[in-house]
Amino acid sequence: MTKESILVVEDEEKIARLLELELEYEGYTVTKALDGIEGLEAYRTKDWDLILLDVMLPGLSGIEILRRIRANDSHTPVLLLTAKDSVEDKVSGLDLGANDYITKPFQIEELLARIRSALRFKPLEQQEEADWLAIADLKLNEKTREVIRGGSQVELTPREFDLLAFLLKNKRQVLQREQILEAVWGYDFLGDTNVVDVYIRYLRKKVDIPSEPSLIHTVRGVGYVIKESK
């Protein structure tokens, strides 16, 4: 299992260092940013599992950073570190979509418990995300049987749907016609593998040709692969 990554934005070096030590000890990977601007830049470098954000920061306040994060990211958990008497920061922080706040000075055990709880919480959006098989701007949902390419719904027959689902479950792997035939038509299918070529053609017409770049590629003498075009 990969370690969960936490971005700590805190200008008091002693606190930042303490947080780094404690969090690393707990098994997280930690990156520190010591002011607001550095914090926002670090935020943009990757998809963090959690952000621990001090409110009082030089450069850009924690509240301002939170506002910018939440402008187009509703899923990354953000925990605010606020001063004891700053009720306003807490209220505006929660209004802006902070998941929780911790008052300084904090007990490390309490902070760790809040972090664990924020990491366990998965927003609905993210749970739904797990139902989709996807590559580039193409996605397929086996539960709702929806297919979307570049934001538009694509209508497929049941067989085309199953074929696309099989390609997506094995994305970036070259699949032989026989493999595809067995998986999509079943072992008892008595036809020849030409049916695979025919259905790939149907699928391309609906999924690939209307939108560029194409995703379903022919591997000469072998079969097919779904992958991003290079």
Which residues in this chain contact Ca ion in the complex, by CB under 5 A? Answer: 11, 54, 56
- The answer to whether residues 12 and 41 touch, using CB atoms and an 8 Å cutoff, is no
Q: Which is nearer to Ca ion, 37 or 195 (CB)?
A: 37
Least separation in angstroms between CB 128 and Ca ion: 37
Least separation in angstroms between CB 104 and Ca ion: 8
- Alpha helix (H) residue ranges in the chain: 13-25, 36-45, 62-72, 87-95, 108-120, 124-129, 158-169, 177-180, 194-203
Q: Which is nearer to Ca ion, 22 or 162 (CB)?
A: 22
Q: Which is nearer to Ca ion, 56 or 112 (CB)?
A: 56
Phi, psi for residue 187 in degrees, rounded to 5: -65, -30
> What three-state secondary structure class fits 17?
helix
Q: Which is nearer to Ca ion, 11 or 160 (CB)?
A: 11
Which residue has the CB atom at the shortest distance from Ca ion? 56
Residue whose token pair is 């934005």? 9
- Alpha carbon distance 165, 126 (integer Å): 20
Q: Which is nearer to Ca ion, 55 or 181 (CB)?
A: 55
Residue 161's closest CA among 127, 187, 184? 184
Least separation in angstroms between CB 10 and Ca ion: 6
Least separation in angstroms between CB 51 and Ca ion: 15
Region of residue 124 (left: phi > 0; alpha: psi -120 to 50; beta: else) = alpha
C-alpha distances (whole Å) from 129 to each of 3, 49, 74, 99, 163 are 21, 16, 13, 20, 21
Least separation in angstroms between CB 100 and Ca ion: 18
Residue whose token pair is 């700590």? 8
Least separation in angstroms between CB 54 and Ca ion: 4
Query: Checking DSSP bridges between strand 223-226 and strand 216-219, what pairing results, if any?
Result: antiparallel
Q: Which is nearer to Ca ion, 79 or 215 (CB)?
A: 79
